[in-house]
Amino acid sequence: MPVEKLLSQLRGIPSPPEPGWWPLAAGWWILLGIIALAVIAAIYFRRQKTQLGLYHQADLELQRITNLYLETEDNQALLLSLSAWLRRVCIIAFPEKPIAAITGQAWIEFLDQTLPGSHFTQGVGGVFSGEIYSRQPVVDSNAILRLCHAWLLSMQPGLIAAMQVKHPVVSSC
């Protein structure tokens, strides 16, 4: 066969197909997946830390009050501090209720509603209805501190829910 005839049978080199708008190799997809998982994990852990933040702040404040009492052994200062602490935590945990306006017997009845049992109306927590204002209150400080700690443990879900209500951006993450 003549060379010209053989050359006429040759075809041109085919062009490769056009690349897509985002041609990524498998390694890049794996890297993007790892980055996405890292972002999701960071958001999750930040949310958990933020939600538990109010509980931990309340717990630290209770520890501070306990340590101050152990140094001074002043029952009246202990009761006044615990009463203010209880009210602050309730204001955060129950933003829809007029906590600041509740006093006396209604206050300890409200506290009993937040903790199973009647530790405030019929137990050692009854001192928060008015005895805290006497000059020399007679109180079992260990029992009161245990009650406040148990009350705080029971309030943990309420504090987390309060954090979600106050910061909807955090709760949607």
| Domain spans in the chain, listed from the N-terminal domain onward | 39-172
pTM of the model: 0.61
Query: What's the chain look like in SS3?
Result: CCHHHHHHHCCCCCCCCCCCCCCCCHHHHHHHHHHHHHHHHHHHHHHHHHHHHHHHHHHHHHHHHHHHHHHHCCHHHHHHHHHHHHHHHHHHHCCCCCHHHCCHHHHHHHHHHHCCCCCCCCCHHHHHHCHHHCCCCCCCHHHHHHHHHHHHHHHHHHHHHHHHHHCHHHHHC
pLDDT in tens, 117-170: 788 888 888 787 776 677 777 778 888 899 888 888 887 766 656 555 544 433
pLDDT in tens, 33-92: 999 999 999 998 887 776 667 778 888 899 999 999 899 888 888 888 998 898 888 888
